[in-house]
Structure 1
Amino acid sequence: MLYFQLVIMAGTVMLAYYFECTDTFSVHVQGFFCYDTSYTKPYLGPEDRSAVPPPLLYALVAGLPTLLITVTETVLFLVQYTSKEFDRSEKTVATGDCCYLNPLVRRTFRFLGVYSFGLFTVDIFVNAGQVVTGNLAPYFLTVCKPNYTALGCQQALRYISHQEACSGNQEDILRARKTFPCKEAALSLYAALYLAMYVTLTVQAKGSRLAKPVLSLGLVCLAFLTGLNRVAEYRNHWGDVIAGFIIGGAIATFLLLLGEESPEHQPGSALLTLGRMESPLEKYIASQETDDDDDEDEESCYIKERLLVFLNWLQGLHWFQRISNRRWSEL
């Protein structure tokens, strides 16, 4: 199964490479109406001039999850190493019968492998949608620079469908034909949801009840701001951004549900399985709570004894009051 998963991972990476770096798949040429105001927004320059340029977005999408997952797994492993559960921990064969992998290395590669697979999958879905639809950007006519007189655009309802209608820069025109769905929105929301689910499932410390929601909402907020920036700079329509959010969120949720239903500790399944693993920090806290439960039992017994003494005192007080009332009545 491990080698089969590696083949799937390699095929996914190669398909994403052909979409991104080659012209193997030609973009559908979608026509437009003369003087259509939906595509006459100003062109603010190449993607590098955007408030969220592609190098920054890709660095965050690839680097931030790697750093966060590695640091979190290291901390959890150190916490488990210092606890009693480490000596009784079950070893899992991750590379066959030849050798064992350190739990820290195994879990880190496991989560990063799932994240990388989902990231390339999002890229493939987005590129496939852009190639098939060929949806036009809001600034398409600005970079297309059509000759309306030669095209016979005396009427605004005339539909232009041939590719030779544009006289602008061909690279800008090609980029303006690939906007649906929005890649930046899909990648950013996928990374945010994956990290939010990872932190929620692995970190089970009591002190993190407020920190985990704040971190998750902060990551999702950054993803939504990325989508809003695309619309504000007239690089994508609202529908493009929403479709990108749906794709990124759906793939992240699918990986979570698939991991929840998959078998837990199977040899060779550590690369592309998310799964619900009990956190080392959770094990450590559980071992500490066992001792706390014993202390709580002693405290509860002491409280019960004090309550019984107090109730006996109240009964004695009531008995004394009855005797006093009887004596006053005899006098």
Structure 2
Amino acid sequence: MLNIAENVWLFLVDAVSFFLVCGIYLGFKSSTSLPIYSEEFVKNDVDYMVPYQQPTLSAGLMSLLSHVTPVIFILVLCTLRALQKEGFNTGLKSQVPPQRLRQLKMPPAVAGGFLYTGYFFFGACLMGLLNKGVAHMVGRLSPNFLDVCKPDYSEETSVYTRQMCTGTEEDIVKASLSFPSEYAAHLSYGFLFNAAIVSCIPQLRKVPMTRLLCLFILVVLPILGGLSRYAEGFNHLVDVIVGIVVGFACSAFIVVNPLRLFGTLESTNSCTNEETIQPEDSKQTSDVAFQQTIS
């Protein structure tokens, strides 16, 4: 068993990794001076002539749906598990924080919320780095790029690049990073995380059709959100599909990880409070039965 000093040290190592990844991602996201592969386009290119319109899914709404709602779901789940430990019958497995958090004297609900929320945002930042890195290397222009770019056609040339644009630099940069769709990736990541939490609610296991409906809605909503970006000319269809795949894959990687974020994979009832016989218990049970048979 690790002592308190070793647990504090391990906790600090994880904290450094967390803030390093999140800091790099936020810096990467806010910077407009990072190099982008400049895709060329011709005058009045029909692939990029979709008129610009205000998005139905704004950046604030996207953040609310993909980042705030999972945190609320996590806090509710951790509170219910903590209540189970206090004797309330919530049907969930009681919250048992990792050893390092127990030795730091954190309450179970706080420790669970801290751990799960940290995993969620750590995975979101890793996915964001992957998404941004690919987008900058590919540099695919969005369907509404010409309306955003407002290129200077006074120069006599057969092809144009985004350096010849006269529009707002920030909007031009966003319109140059269409692949993969950032909105579709974040929505898919957050909603699949929500689906994993919903699958842990024991009351929904008693109504399987309602449970399937909830899971269906949580899976379909990010797909519809991504398709809205395609319909409004902010992304190509392939960009949206790849963004959804990236979001779902990263979310599954974080939820089904070696630490078993929402329970253990060895038990099919990992979220609920149903007991399973461990190998030691099974061996003791068989030994007792054998002794009774002999006597």
Tell me the equivalent position of 2:39. 30
Q: Deviations 1:104-132 (Å, cap 9, x if unpaired)? A: 22222222121111111122122212222
Tell me the equivalent position of 1:132. 137
Of 256, 268, 276, the residue aligned with 2:264 is 276
Of 18, 25, 33, the residue aligned with 1:16 is 25
Change (3 A) 1:50 1:96: closer
Q: Is the 8 A contact 2:95 2:109 kept in 1?
A: no
Of 139, 146, 149, the residue aligned with 1:141 is 146
Tell me the equivalent position of 2:51. 42
> Between Structure 1 and Structure 2, whose CA radius of gyration is higher?
1
User: 163-172 or 89-98, which moves further after superposition?
Assistant: 89-98
Counterpart Cα distance in 1 of 2:172 and 2:163? 11
Counterpart Cα distance in 2 of 1:145 and 1:159? 14
Change (3 A) 1:244 1:192: same
What's the TM-score, normalizing by structure 1?
0.70
How much does 1:275 deviate?
4.8
Q: Is the 8 A contact 1:80 1:280 kept in 2?
A: no
How much does 1:186 deviate?
0.2
Counterpart Cα distance in 2 of 1:105 and 1:242? 37
Q: Deviations 1:231-258 (Å, cap 9, x if unpaired)? A: 1111111111111111111111222332
SS in 1 for 2:100: coil
How much does 1:286 deviate?
5.1
Counterpart Cα distance in 2 of 1:96 and 1:111? 13
Tell me the equivalent position of 2:282. none
SS in 2 for 1:159: coil
Q: Deviations 1:45-65 (Å, cap 9, x if unpaired)? A: xxxx32111111112222211
Counterpart Cα distance in 2 of 1:38 and 1:280? 49
Q: Which residues of structure 2 form unaligned runs of 5+?
A: 1-9, 277-295
Change (3 A) 1:112 1:211: farther
Greater fraction of residues in helix: 1
Q: Which amino acid aligns with 1:4?
A: V
Change (3 A) 1:274 1:7: farther
Tell me the equivalent position of 1:159. 159
Tell me the equivalent position of 1:81. 86
How much does 1:148 deviate?
3.7
Q: Which residues of structure 1 form unaligned runs of 5+?
A: 153-157, 265-272, 288-331
1:203 aligns with 2:201: yes
CA RMSD of aligned residues (A): 3.0
Q: Which amino acid aligns with 2:177?
A: K
Structure possessing the higher relative contact order (Cα contacts under 8 Å, 6 or more residues apart): 1
Q: 1:182-197 maps to which residues of 2 (within 5 A)?
A: 182-197=181-196
Q: Which amino acid aligns with 2:51?
A: P
How much does 1:196 deviate?
0.9
How much does 1:94 deviate?
3.6
How much does 1:229 deviate?
0.8
Counterpart Cα distance in 2 of 1:68 and 1:148? 51
Q: 1:1-331 maps to which residues of 2 (within 5 A)?
A: 1-23=10-32, 25-44=34-53, 49-82=54-87, 94-95=99-100, 98-148=103-153, 150-152=155-157, 158-161=158-161, 163-200=162-199, 202-205=200-203, 206-259=205-258, 262=259, 275-276=263-264, 282-283=272-273
SS in 2 for 1:95: helix
Change (3 A) 1:281 1:246: closer
SS in 2 for 1:193: helix
Q: Which amino acid aligns with 1:282?
A: T
How much does 1:34 deviate?
2.7
Q: Structure 1: which 4+ aligned runs deviate by more than 6 Å?
A: 277-281
Q: Deviations 1:17-48 (Å, cap 9, x if unpaired)? A: 1111223522222211233200111111xxxx
How much does 1:143 deviate?
2.6
- Alignment size in residue pairs: 262
Counterpart Cα distance in 1 of 2:146 and 2:179? 17
Identity %: 25
Q: Is the 8 A contact 2:57 2:225 kept in 1?
A: yes
Counterpart Cα distance in 1 of 2:271 and 2:252? 25
How much does 1:140 deviate?
1.2
How much does 1:222 deviate?
1.4
Q: Deviations 1:183-228 (Å, cap 9, x if unpaired)? A: 110000001111112332x333442533332222111221111111
User: 182-191 or 167-176, which moves further after superposition?
Assistant: 167-176
